[in-house]
Structures are given as structure tokens and as C-alpha cells.
Amino acid sequence: MTQKPRAPESALVWERPEPTSRPAPGPLSRERIVHAALELADAEGLASVSLRKVAAALDAGPMRLYGYLSTKEELLELMVDAVYGEMVSAGPIRGAWREALRSIAHRTRQAAAKHPWLIDLLVGRPHLGPNALAHLEASLAALSNTPGFKDDIDAVMQAVGTVNAYVVGALRSEASEQRATLESGMSKTQWQNATEPYIRRMIDTGRFPTLARVFRDATHPSFEVVFDKGLDCVLDGIAARLAR
């Protein structure tokens, strides 16, 4: 008897159906798998996430997870999309383009604060999960009907991409400082105090007059203030483009 050919399996996890749920030894779903992975990453960091550890958290054998996803990379994609879902669930983006992009930037920062591992996965190719696409749609829509942008979708993409690049860069800097604190056991203030004598000696050589001004006069605000001021610079640049 001739067997019917199997339908080709989609290469994307978003379009593959889940296997039929089994009640024993424990029910599984992509949602439960992702939830367990999120808890593991939030508690122990991204390096701790493996299919074996996630399976153990669910009291399931690792091989059972392969019915729901094929690789660790797919699990990471699902995790990122779940966080985008949290951002989208905060409600519609309101206001004019500037307020809308500021809101999107702050939602990303809040998500990264809740899930510190997220920032390491927001680089590279775009994420294609449904929630990631909804987030991108909201970002593009904030500009697409603005005079000066509505007839130039390339300009919309460039502006949104510039804001996203700033946000990711700023958050990576903040995350790096947090990791340095954990790894060294020294807060930023403690590190500055420890290195201050050396910096003073270097400034006293007279070779670094501008750095001397920074050392003497700069306010050194919090990351939150620095983030907002930097974002203002980016948005001011977009506004200048609109005013041409």
C-alpha cells in the first residue's frame, strides 16, 4: 500500500503545530516550556538555559521537549517573543510620533530591567515572532502617518532603526555595568573611589584638559537620566529631519 507523502515541515517554529498533549507524566505546551525557561533565565542568567534544565523544571524528559521545538535557538526565539508579548500587552502606543517612540523605548528598558538577559538577544537579525512583529508594527505606525515621513517608508525604517539602535546600545552599557558589579563585588561608586587616585595623577600631568573638566564639573547622573537625555538627542535629530 502506497503511503501518502508527509506534508513538508515548516522551518519556522511559529507555524509548526504542537503535538497532541499527554496528561502523564505531566502535560506540556510551548507556553509552559517558555514560562519555565523565562523563570530559569531570570533567576540564573541566559547561560543557565538548556533544554535539559528546562525539562527538569517541568519534571519531563528532555526528549519530550523536541516535540515542541527543535533547537535551543528556537527556545530563545520563543522566550524573546514572550517578552515582546509583555510589552505589547501594556496597551496601544498613544501620542504623536515623539511620545510614541519614547514610550516604546521605555517599554524596552522596563522589559530589560525585568529580564536582564533580554538585551543579549536583541541584536542580529529581526525577530519574527507574532509579538515581535506587533511591536515593530507599533513602532513603524508611530511615524508612518507623520508629515514628512508618510510618503517615505525608507525614512520611517531608518528613524525607527536609529531609535532601536540607541536603545539597545544604552541598555547594553547599563547591563555591562550591572554585570561588572556582580563579578567584581564592587559598585560603580566603589570602583570610582578605588581608581580615583590614578585618574587624579593622570589629570595632573596636564595631558587631559577636557577629561579634567569632566572629573571636576560633570554631574554623573543615573542611568535613567542618561538614557532619557540620550533618547532626547536621537528624537531631536528625527525632529530636525522633519523640519527640513
CATH code of the domain containing 170: 1.10.357.10
pLDDT score for 9: 56
Q: Based on C-alpha coordinates, what's the Rg of the chain? A: 23
How far is CA 82 from each of CA 12, 49, 87, 193, rounded to the nearest angstrom?
16, 15, 9, 40
Residue 6 pLDDT > 60: no
Percentage, residues of the chain above pLDDT 70: 93
The pLDDT-based confidence of 92 (bands split at 50, 70, 90) is confident
Same domain, 111 and 226: yes
Mean of the pLDDT values across residues 37-41?
Answer: 97
Query: In the listed set 5, 39, 70, which residue is the last one of a domain according to the structure?
Result: 70
The answer to whether residues 157 and 123 belong to one domain is yes
HEC-encoded secondary structure of 141-176: HHHHCCCCCCCCHHHHHHHHHHHHHHHHHHHHHHHH
For residues 31 and 102, state if they share a domain: no
Q: Is residue 70 pLDDT above 80, yes or no?
A: yes
Q: What is the mean pLDDT of residues 33-53?
A: 95
CATH number at residue 48: 1.10.10.60
5 pLDDT band (50/70/90 cuts)?
A: very low
DSSP 125: S
Shared-domain flag, residues 40 and 99? no
Q: What is the per-residue pLDDT across 147-164, written as a single tens digit (0 to 9) for each?
A: 778 788 998 999 999 999
Determine, yes or no, domain membership for 1: no
Quote the mean pLDDT of the chain.
88
Residues of the domain holding 161? 93-242
Task: Read off the pLDDT of each residue in 212-230 and give the average, rounded to a whole number.
Answer: 92
pLDDT tier, 56 (very low <50, low <70, confident <90, very high otherwise): very high
- Residue 124 backbone class (left: φ over 0; alpha: ψ -120 to 50; beta: rest): left
